[in-house]
Amino acid sequence: MKYHHLGIPTSVPRESEEYLPAFDTYCTDHERNPFGIQWMRYGPRCPLPDLVKTVPHVAFEVADLDQALEGEEVLIRPNSPSPGVVVAFIVRDGAPVELLEHRLKGEGETD
């Protein structure tokens, strides 16, 4: 596993946030700062679990997402929020953890 970003829920609009219509979520680019901080603002139609919308999450890049999910409590099943990236959320010690895998465009991507 390799650290990827820290997602922090907020209700405050941030400069340069991007809107993800499928999740009714606004997020900042984690690559804009050296620590990978990503602010997450959730709209009223956001389908994500309350745990993700209210508790900060840490994200790790993994080589094999399916393998990384084995034996874990899956909170959000694998999905593709952007081309070439497949993510899932697990719960560890009561906190949400995002696992993500970079894949070739179209490979294993689900909605």
Interval 29-83: pLDDT, tens: 999 999 999 999 999 999 999 999 999 999 999 999 999 999 999 999 999 888 8
Q: Range of 90's domain?
A: 2-102
Structural domain includes residue 58: yes
Structural domain includes residue 79: yes
Structural domain includes residue 32: yes
Only one residue has tokens 């929020």, namely: 81
Structural domain includes residue 33: yes
Only one residue has tokens 């409590």, namely: 73
Structural domain includes residue 37: yes
Structural domain includes residue 110: no
Q: Are 89 and 77 in contact (CB under 8 A)?
A: no
pLDDT tens readout for residues 18-32: 999 989 999 999 999
Number of domains in the chain: 1
Structural domain includes residue 34: yes
CATH at 18: 3.10.180.10
Runs of H (alpha helix) within the chain: 50-54, 65-69
How many whole angstroms separate alpha carbon 102 and alpha carbon 80? 10
Structural domain includes residue 109: no
Q: Are 26 and 48 in contact (CB under 8 A)?
A: no
Residue 102: predicted pLDDT = 94
Q: For residue 104, name the pLDDT band (cuts at 50, 70, 90).
A: confident
The closest alpha carbon to 23, from 87, 99, 108, belongs to: 87
